[in-house]
Structure 1
Amino acid sequence: MASLVLMTALAPARVQPDLSFLLDHTSHVLRTRMAAALSEVGLTLRMHCVLVHAVEGERTQAQLAEIGDMDKTTMVATVDALEKAGYAERRQSSADRRARIIAVTEKGAEVASRSQVIVDRVHEEALGTLAADEREVLIHALNRLVTGHLQTPVEAPTPVRRARQQK
């Protein structure tokens, strides 16, 4: 018992709330809720991301991987799954014959529309736990962070693992 008291006494005092924990935890839980909800239409988070961005316009697999923050292997597996489901197909770009784009099928556009309704519902449920003025402040503050100080990752001496992702 004495060692526990000593360890607690030596712990550094926190001056600020643990912002990393707060953002990581809420992000992780939101992703788990999103993944569960998207399973209603047979999509993963990554599949939804690729579909909704590919349906907006002609985009290459590399562009969609960048938008979804996916590595090449993950992107290929995601597009393979979308093709197998009949939601998307790889096609030659109309702008650059050397490039291949991900084209969303009619069936894929329908599921993308349904999945976006699900995503919007999950976001509304999360924000619904806050008062209207708190929602506005939270969204404004997060937007300021992602367009300002926390817009771009910095190089670190050792790689920083991304938050846990659903598979």
Structure 2
Amino acid sequence: MAPTRTETDLSFLLDHTSHVLRSRIAAALAEIGLTARMHCVLVHALEEERTQIQLAELGDMDKTTMVVTVDALERAGYAERRPSATDRRARIIAVTETGEAIAKRSQEIVDGVHRDALQSVPQDEREVLVRALNRLATGHLATPAESAQPARRARERAK
């Protein structure tokens, strides 16, 4: 006989909704020729001068995925690798004018997907939901547990 569940399956709820949200963002960004990773790199590179390594950390990307992503951005004319103004040894990712325009558009798309998701929750529950998720993300669930067998984090395939 299966054990009786005593708590809500929070893992399923968070995993499922996160997966569906990511798939909707991916589909919406694909309409303008971007991936979520490309969007992430453009937006974070526009915030301040950042190296490829810094952007990879912000986007939770490994080095290979980051290189592929920046290569795609360069081919599209949205970004370029340049020497850092503060460290001659470092290369930063600089966003072109065209890249800045597509980043603005992609942020509008991502914001719209997020807005649509939140609009499916009754108005009086939205703020509570967001506040509770922020508390989890910055509190109890802010840092993964150390483990000999760490949980794999879902990643999208690079295109």
TM category (shorter chain) comes to over 0.9
Tell whether 2:20 aligns with 1:60. no
Corresponding residue number in structure 1 for 2:99: 108
Identity of aligned residues (%): 72
The two structures have a TM-score, normalised by structure 1, of 0.92
Report matched runs for 1:65-144 at 5 Å. 65-144=56-135
Paired letter, 2:59: G
Cα deviations by residue, 1:5-43 (Å, 9 ceiling, x for unpaired): xxxxx1010000110000000000000000000011100
Within 1, Cα distance between the matches of 2:4 and 2:156? 31
Which stretches of structure 1, 4 residues or longer, exceed 3 Å deviation after superposition? none
Q: Is the 8 A contact 1:87 1:108 kept in 2?
A: yes
What residue in structure 2 maps to residue 51 of structure 1? 42
The number of equivalent residue pairs is 158
Q: Which amino acid aligns with 1:35?
A: A
User: 1:29 maps to which residue?
Assistant: 20
User: If you compute each CA radius of gyration, which structure gives the higher value, 1 or 2?
Assistant: 1
CA contact (8 A) 1:82 1:88 kept: yes
After TM superposition, the structure 1 stretch with the greater mean CA deviation from structure 2, 78-87 or 146-155, is 146-155
**Structure 2 CA distance for aligned equivalents of residues 25 and 164 of structure 1:** 14
Taking structure 2 as the reference length, the TM-score comes to 0.97
- Structure 1 vs Structure 2 CA RMSD: 0.9
Tell me, which stretches of 5 or more residues in structure 1 are unaligned? 1-9
Gaps of 5+ in 2: none
